[in-house]
Amino acid sequence: MLFLIKYFDTHLNESESVSVEKGLAYRICYGFLGTVIFIFLWTLIGYLIFTKPEYKQFSGLLPLPTIKAFYSLIFDNDFWSSVYASLRRVTVGISIAFVMGLPLGLLIGFYKKLELITYTPVQFVRMISPVSWMPVALLVFRSFESAIYFLIAISTVWPIILNTTHGVSRVNPQWINMARNQGAKNYQLLLKIIVPSSVPYILTSLRLALGVAWIVLVPAEFLGVSSGLGYIINDARDTMEYDRLMAIIIAIGIVGFILDGSIQLIQKSFPFKRTWN
């Protein structure tokens, strides 16, 4: 393994500072190396544990059966409808959180008093594990579906509020002075200066929200719904299809990775990021 790192080093080091494209190749190579190491460790630990006779039944958790199950997962309609259902829940949940959190975050950032008033409750509720809302959600909401929306919304609203507030507080005061000098009214300051200058922070908040939502989603889907990635994991456990279970876990990771990456791409696509604040 050390040899491999050394190999990459000698062959890619000189490209580090040369150009952006080469820098990208450099990063992809190391990213690939990381993936290889990850699969190697998985194989190693898996074989040490799951080849013992008493754990024989769990051998589906090993890489090879998992990859086979993953392959069949790709052609499995149930899987794709579950991915769709999960993505829908995350989208709806985050949308609710965003619609509530963004204006709240802007207002809290804009009015210092509001920040003082909301500080304690926000910090307090934020620290409650979203999963502990589960029983409450089940009591309050009639359908499991809306209970899941609630859980995702309540776990993602905090990063959205806090990051938006932070974005507002980081607005360059010179822009505010300039706009006031140009005759901007308060609502114009908000819409023309504060909101656009907070966009990077709002995108970061969405990225954090997505991470949280994707984590909360799976336990939330254990609740009683009959679709979604959390549901089919449970299902695979009940039917003792461990290779399928592991393949779904991998799929959850991949979808999350793609979602996070696409928000990062959006963040990077802003032409003005270098002079931002």
Partner 1 sequence: MKIRVENITKTYPLPKGKQFTVLKNINFTINEGDFVTILGESGCGKSTLLNILAGLLPVSSGEIWVDNKKIVGPHPSRSILFQQPNLLPWLSVEENIVFGCKLRGEVDNLRFRANQLIDIMGLSGFEKVYPHELSLGMAQRVCLARSLIGHPDVLLLDEPFASLDTFTRIHLQEELIDFWQVEKLTVIFVTHDIDEAILMGNKVILLGGHPSGIVKIFDIRMNYPRDMTSKIFFLVRTSVLKKFEEAFTDNKNLNPGEKE
Q: By CB under 8 A, which span of 52-60, 155-163, 195-203, 211-219 interacts with partner 1?
A: 195-203
Phi, psi of 272 (to 5 degrees): -105, 15
User: How large is the greatest C-alpha to C-alpha distance in the chain, in angstroms?
Assistant: 79
Tell the smallest beta-carbon distance from residue 194 to partner 1 (Å).
11
* Token pair for 244: 């399928």
How many residues bind partner 1, per CB under 8 A?
A: 23
Residue position matching structure tokens 């989603």: 217
132 binds partner 1 (CB under 8 A): no
DSSP 61: G
C-alpha to C-alpha distance for 117 and 167, rounded to whole angstroms: 19
Detail the DSSP E strand segments found in the chain. none
Instruction: Report the b/e string of 191-230 with b at 16+ CB within 10 A.
Output: eebbbebbebbbbbbbbbbbbbbbebbbebbebebebbbb
Tell the smallest beta-carbon distance from residue 210 to partner 1 (Å).
23
* Token pair for 92: 């709806």
197 binds partner 1 (CB under 8 A): yes
End-to-end CA distance of the chain: 42
Tell the smallest beta-carbon distance from residue 267 to partner 1 (Å).
14
In the shown chain, the binding pattern of residues 167 to 186 toward partner 1, with x for contact by CB under 8 A and - for none, equals -----x-xx-xxxxxxxx--
Check the CA dihedral 98-100-105-107 and report its sign. positive
266 binds partner 1 (CB under 8 A): no
Q: By CB under 8 A, which span of 29-37, 194-202, 226-234, 235-243 interacts with partner 1?
A: 194-202
| Touching partner 1, residues 18-37 (CB under 8 A) | none
Shorter beta-carbon distance to partner 1: residue 123 or 177:
177
Shorter beta-carbon distance to partner 1: residue 120 or 181:
181
| Touching partner 1, residues 135-174 (CB under 8 A) | 172, 174
Q: Would you tell me which residues interact with partner 1 (CB under 8 A)?
A: 172, 174-175, 177-184, 188, 192-193, 196-197, 199, 270-272, 274-276
